[in-house]
Chain A
Amino acid sequence: MPTLLAASLLLYAFGGFGALVLRRAETAAISVGGLTAALAGALGVLAVWPVLLSGQTLLYSTPSLLPFGAFSVRIDALSAVMVIVISLVAAAAGLFSLSYLKGSIGIGGGAIAFFTNLFVASMVLVVIVDNAFFFVLAWELMTITSYFLVISELEEEAVHAGFLYFFIAHGFSMLIMIAFFLLTVQTGSLDFATYRAANPPAWLASIVFLLALFGFGAKAGMIPIHSWLPRAHPAAPSHASALMSGVMVKLGIYGIIRVGVDFLGAELAWWGWTLLVFGAVSAVLGSFYTLAERDIKRLLAYSTVENVGVILMATGIAMVGLATGQRLVAFVGFLAALYHILNHAMFKGLLFLGAGALLKGLSTRDMTLMGGLGKRMPRTAFLFLVGALCIAAIPPLNGFVSEWFAYQSFFITGYGPGFAGRLLGPLAAMALAITGAVTLSCFVATWGAIFGGEARSGRAKAARETPASMLIGMGVLALFCVGFGLGSPLVVRALGPAVAALSNSASLATADGLYVFPANPRFALVSPPLIAMLMLGLLALPVIVVGVFGADRSRHIVRRGAEAWDCGYQHTGQMAVSPTGGMEPLRFFFEGLYALHRFTVLFHRVAAAGLAGLTRFAARIEPLWDRLTVTLTVDAASGVGGRFQALEMGNLRVYTFYIFLALVVVLLAVAW
């Protein structure tokens, strides 16, 4: 329903500009922005729903006056999935922002609402346009709006993060443009339709794929080009962080799939393997890097890196399946990837909104200053717990189902004929298992540090429950989290057409009644709804035992409010595992992973020359690439920035616009 979608887009735009117009009356601006986003999100879902179910592709194009082709819109199943992802999170974030942005009144709450809406709209555009030029245009719009969101708090750190983000985003979008340029050179057109039809030689296809992999991978936060992400995402207002981390990174994956699978047909198996390896590295390292964080939003950002890794792994194995003609592998792999894209958006959105609620309530992102909030913010705690359980892939919630499919895709590869598959499939499963366990550790420690134990600061002691509208925003996502888990048979059916389209095969049965299975129930099957039901049923056993042997209700004394037992000494808030301290053993055990630095440092000795010494450097917990890119960028930036010093912030914004224009010009020239 392009009309509905257009309405949705217009609503975003209306809301955005409305907020801009009303920026003097910030409360109204925030309300307009938030409500329109929520409504537009709902419209967006409605718009693409039929596409998703039917699997048809909708095309719409206007003749363009510009020389680089028509402004064409194409909504296929993949786009539909992406639009749903964007819309759901946008709607929830919109609701959330109604109260959340009240904290930003006076520092441009209206502007934030404007940029948020524009940002969402640009993301929708990215996934539906079918022309390289407009794609880049939307892509740049997305980057710039999100850049403004990153720096909206105008704190030094945020500005710095924004700067880094800005440079890296543009640096890597150059790669995307070059990829498109190469394809355009082949086809003579900027239309994606011609890209699909093109049949570039293998070497060229490989180059294009690699360019796309890194160009889009940077946006996705793929290790080793993730370093901007844990800085930029947390700096943005939390609802925007939710959008960036929950949605925008997926557009990177979308890009990879669009180019690698849709345009290039996933011709070569090593593309898939490469993706798998990058995915595995991102997943494992991303999960480990969460362990060192005490800033809740940075932790979530690293966790995004990890989840992107999981999605890339599934995508990679699917591409291998495509390339090697293993339909089943491709099918299950894409199913897992798309499912996880959907799920991750839900729970990461939920968690970022939760982090926003905490930030709003406590004015800090430092988890060491939290603690004891489970009693003070029980609803927030509960919703955050749902998110944590989902991200830890606990059955029968949604994270479990998509990871289960990912496991199945690896196992099926492992049963398959090729040696590479038999070797790498199970190893990928192992990587996923490590990731899962680390994620669990991390989120246990995180939830515990935030909500468990005793309040460790005055602001934690004074914390109050989150306002309702924020809880509603979180609650919506939490509902989807649970729903996508318990309703997994429906979800896999709904994703069927999109998966079938990507894997270039007929839609395979992946659900029957209450069960889901990887196309063949003999391989494996699982039923989240039945698991949930039996869990409730089995609860009877302990309840019966308690009923029989427990003291009867009237005599069973429960005394609450006791001081925690700390060997008889006065309990203090310090006597609790700190968020990072609890994970120290893991960091100790897997020091090797952090020592990845050591090797890369050798390669980049020049860049690292300013650092005090190799060993000290290697001992740092921060991932090397952070260091590396930061150093590089900061060096570059300070060179450039030196000249900026006289300029004001506004001038910098103008300057960024110049850069954007310059890029467009480059593309224009190319098209010519």
Chain B
Amino acid sequence: MKPPDTILGTNLVPAPGAVFSEAEEIAKLKDSLMKRIRRSAYVFRVDCGGCNGCEIEIFAAFSPIFDAERFGIKLVSSPRHADILLYTGSMTRSMRLPAIRSYHAAPDPKIVIGYGACGCTGGIFHDLYCVWGGAESVVPVDVYIPGCPPTPAATIYGFALALGLLEQKLKARHHKEGENEVVIPIRPLIPLRLRVALEREARRMSGYRQGRIVVDRFMSILGHEGANAPFAERMKAYLDEEGDPRLTEIFERLNDIVEGRPSGWTGQSSASSSTS
């Protein structure tokens, strides 16, 4: 099925003056362009109103670690020299005209890349009153490099893809619910209430990322019924192996919960009690 417009962003009004499509012969010429610029591509950046994270990462892609110049890619200072136009940032109302101007200023045919979440679709700003959307709301885009911002490595990959050097990895996927498709709850052996309590405490202690890793680890040691040694020993062995005091601290808190000891956490902000 065709996804509704809201998510694709096509419900957005294209910016006035937008270039909707290219002349047919220019589109044809694009193929020959690709061959020519495979080993020598001049890139002009058009920042249409992003947070400049993308700009810095583009710089980083040309810095010694990533060195995009080894593929013959070069940043140029005038759109007249460009083979590739790199649109970053959500297309703001004010940048519409400069963005269109730079498109017109570059010789045909040219490859337009929508760079970063904002350049692709408008990103987090996609529906604001001074935003038209992504680069596509103004110019026809050939390649999308998503990310917020794309890392320099992702940038290199995106360039390579645009130049036809690497294969595209991401494909559209559509899933249709199968017959009797069910979701099996995770960690079936641990009581739900305990699991929720452990997860909360781990999150409180160590945040979402490490908290989840820690609690997974904890529960897998806890839930490992078949093992010979008792849980406390297995836990100690694991903690000794890790040798991380912070991990030990969290494991102890979690163990407190397992053993029914009050954790000292009331579920209320301690601050609110002290201030009121």
By a beta-carbon cutoff of 8 Å, the part of chain A in contact with chain B is 555, 557, 559, 562-563, 565, 567-570
Interface of B is mostly: helix
Partner-binding segment picked from B95-103, B185-193, B217-225, B243-251: B95-103
Contact of A562 among B32, B97, B99, B104 (CB under 8 A): B104
CB within 8 Å of A: which B83-107 residues: 97-99, 101-102, 104-105, 107
Per-position 1/0 for B98-139, Cβ under 8 A of A: 110110110110000000000000000000000000000000
B78 at the interface (CB under 8 A from A): yes
Q: Are A568 and B101 in contact (CB under 8 A)?
A: yes
Instruction: Name A568's closest neighbour in chain B (CB-CB).
Output: B98
Instruction: Name A570's closest neighbour in chain B (CB-CB).
Output: B97
- Given A557-B107, A562-B104, A563-B101, 14 further pairs, Cβ under 8 A: A555-B29, A557-B26, A557-B29, A557-B108, A559-B107, A563-B104, A565-B79, A565-B80, A565-B101, A565-B105, A568-B99, A568-B101, A568-B102, A570-B97
| Alpha-carbon distance A555/B78, docked complex (angstroms) | 23
Q: How many residues of B contact A (CB 8 A)?
A: 16
Instruction: Name B101's closest neighbour in chain A (CB-CB).
Output: A568
Q: Contacts of B98 on A, CB cut-off 8 Å? A: 567-569
Q: Contacts of A568 on B, CB cut-off 8 Å? A: 46, 97-99, 101-102
| Alpha-carbon distance A418/B102, docked complex (angstroms) | 64
Instruction: Name A551's closest neighbour in chain B (CB-CB).
Output: B32
Q: Contacts of A569 on B, CB cut-off 8 Å? A: 98
Q: Contacts of A565 on B, CB cut-off 8 Å? A: 78-80, 101, 105
Q: 8 closest A-B pairs (Cβ-Cβ)?
A: A568-B98, A565-B105, A568-B101, A568-B102, A565-B78, A557-B108, A562-B105, A565-B80
| Alpha-carbon distance A149/B108, docked complex (angstroms) | 56
Q: Contacts of B107 on A, CB cut-off 8 Å? A: 557, 559
Interface of A is mostly: loop
| Alpha-carbon distance A562/B105, docked complex (angstroms) | 7
Closest Cβ of chain B to A288, distance in Å, is 33
Q: Contacts of B99 on A, CB cut-off 8 Å? A: 568
| Alpha-carbon distance A125/B29, docked complex (angstroms) | 71
Instruction: Name B102's closest neighbour in chain A (CB-CB).
Output: A568
Closest Cβ of chain B to A229, distance in Å, is 43
| Alpha-carbon distance A563/B107, docked complex (angstroms) | 13
What are 25 residue pairs bridging A and B, where the CB atoms are less than 8 Å apart in the complex?
A555-B29, A555-B32, A557-B26, A557-B107, A557-B108, A559-B107, A559-B108, A562-B104, A563-B101, A563-B104, A563-B105, A565-B78, A565-B79, A565-B80, A565-B101, A565-B105, A567-B98, A568-B46, A568-B97, A568-B98, A568-B99, A568-B101, A568-B102, A569-B98, A570-B97
Instruction: Name A557's closest neighbour in chain B (CB-CB).
Output: B108
Instruction: Name A569's closest neighbour in chain B (CB-CB).
Output: B98
Closest Cβ of chain A to B258, distance in Å, is 62
| Alpha-carbon distance A562/B80, docked complex (angstroms) | 10
Closest Cβ of chain B to A565, distance in Å, is 5
Q: Contacts of B101 on A, CB cut-off 8 Å? A: 563, 565, 568
Per-position 1/0 for B245-269, Cβ under 8 A of A: 0000000000000000000000000
| Alpha-carbon distance A568/B48, docked complex (angstroms) | 11
Closest Cβ of chain B to A469, distance in Å, is 40
| Alpha-carbon distance A567/B95, docked complex (angstroms) | 12
Closest Cβ of chain A to B56, distance in Å, is 20
Instruction: Name B48's closest neighbour in chain A (CB-CB).
Output: A568
| Alpha-carbon distance A567/B107, docked complex (angstroms) | 16
| Alpha-carbon distance A421/B79, docked complex (angstroms) | 55
User: A555, A559, A568: which has the most chain B beta carbons within 10 Å?
Assistant: A568
Q: Contacts of A557 on B, CB cut-off 8 Å? A: 26, 29, 107-108
| Alpha-carbon distance A559/B46, docked complex (angstroms) | 21
Q: Contacts of B104 on A, CB cut-off 8 Å? A: 562-563
| Alpha-carbon distance A419/B46, docked complex (angstroms) | 64
| Alpha-carbon distance A569/B98, docked complex (angstroms) | 6
Instruction: Name B80's closest neighbour in chain A (CB-CB).
Output: A565
Per-position 1/0 for B36-71, Cβ under 8 A of A: 000000000010000000000000000000000000
| Alpha-carbon distance A569/B96, docked complex (angstroms) | 11
Closest Cβ of chain A to B112, distance in Å, is 15
| Alpha-carbon distance A567/B32, docked complex (angstroms) | 29
CB within 8 Å of A: which B7-33 residues: 26, 29, 32
| Alpha-carbon distance A557/B28, docked complex (angstroms) | 13
| Alpha-carbon distance A416/B238, docked complex (angstroms) | 98
Closest Cβ of chain A to B212, distance in Å, is 46
| Alpha-carbon distance A563/B103, docked complex (angstroms) | 12
| Alpha-carbon distance A557/B32, docked complex (angstroms) | 13
| Alpha-carbon distance A567/B80, docked complex (angstroms) | 11
Instruction: Name B105's closest neighbour in chain A (CB-CB).
Output: A565
Instruction: Name A563's closest neighbour in chain B (CB-CB).
Output: B101
| Alpha-carbon distance A559/B98, docked complex (angstroms) | 19
Instruction: Name A564's closest neighbour in chain B (CB-CB).
Output: B105
| Alpha-carbon distance A48/B186, docked complex (angstroms) | 114
Closest Cβ of chain A to B78, distance in Å, is 6
Q: Contacts of B78 on A, CB cut-off 8 Å? A: 565
Closest Cβ of chain B to A549, distance in Å, is 10
User: B26, B29, B105: which has the most chain A beta carbons within 10 Å?
Assistant: B105
Instruction: Name A558's closest neighbour in chain B (CB-CB).
Output: B107
Closest Cβ of chain B to A428, distance in Å, is 42
Q: Contacts of B97 on A, CB cut-off 8 Å? A: 568, 570
Closest Cβ of chain A to B98, distance in Å, is 3
Q: Contacts of B108 on A, CB cut-off 8 Å? A: 557, 559
| Alpha-carbon distance A565/B103, docked complex (angstroms) | 11
Q: Contacts of A570 on B, CB cut-off 8 Å? A: 97
Q: Contacts of B32 on A, CB cut-off 8 Å? A: 555
Q: Contacts of B29 on A, CB cut-off 8 Å? A: 555, 557
Instruction: Name B108's closest neighbour in chain A (CB-CB).
Output: A557
CB within 8 Å of A: which B137-169 residues: none
| Alpha-carbon distance A621/B102, docked complex (angstroms) | 40
| Alpha-carbon distance A315/B107, docked complex (angstroms) | 55
| Alpha-carbon distance A557/B22, docked complex (angstroms) | 14
| Alpha-carbon distance A562/B101, docked complex (angstroms) | 9
Closest Cβ of chain A to B81, distance in Å, is 10
Closest Cβ of chain A to B16, distance in Å, is 15
Closest Cβ of chain B to A552, distance in Å, is 11
| Alpha-carbon distance A557/B98, docked complex (angstroms) | 23
Q: Contacts of A567 on B, CB cut-off 8 Å? A: 98
Closest Cβ of chain B to A83, distance in Å, is 53
Closest Cβ of chain B to A568, distance in Å, is 3
Closest Cβ of chain B to A2, distance in Å, is 64
| Alpha-carbon distance A565/B98, docked complex (angstroms) | 10
Closest Cβ of chain B to A551, distance in Å, is 8
Instruction: Name A571's closest neighbour in chain B (CB-CB).
Output: B101
Closest Cβ of chain A to B87, distance in Å, is 12
| Alpha-carbon distance A487/B275, docked complex (angstroms) | 101
Q: Contacts of B102 on A, CB cut-off 8 Å? A: 568
User: B99, B101, B108: which has the most chain A beta carbons within 10 Å?
Assistant: B101
User: A555, A562, A569: which has the most chain B beta carbons within 10 Å?
Assistant: A562
| Alpha-carbon distance A565/B106, docked complex (angstroms) | 10
| Alpha-carbon distance A557/B78, docked complex (angstroms) | 19
Closest Cβ of chain A to B41, distance in Å, is 17
Closest Cβ of chain A to B211, distance in Å, is 47
Closest Cβ of chain B to A555, distance in Å, is 7
Closest Cβ of chain A to B91, distance in Å, is 13
Closest Cβ of chain B to A548, distance in Å, is 14
Closest Cβ of chain A to B138, distance in Å, is 12
Instruction: Name A566's closest neighbour in chain B (CB-CB).
Output: B101
Closest Cβ of chain A to B209, distance in Å, is 41
| Alpha-carbon distance A555/B108, docked complex (angstroms) | 11
Q: Contacts of A562 on B, CB cut-off 8 Å? A: 104-105
| Alpha-carbon distance A562/B99, docked complex (angstroms) | 15
Closest Cβ of chain A to B244, distance in Å, is 52
| Alpha-carbon distance A567/B97, docked complex (angstroms) | 11
Closest Cβ of chain A to B135, distance in Å, is 14
Closest Cβ of chain B to A570, distance in Å, is 7
Closest Cβ of chain B to A571, distance in Å, is 9
Closest Cβ of chain A to B100, distance in Å, is 9
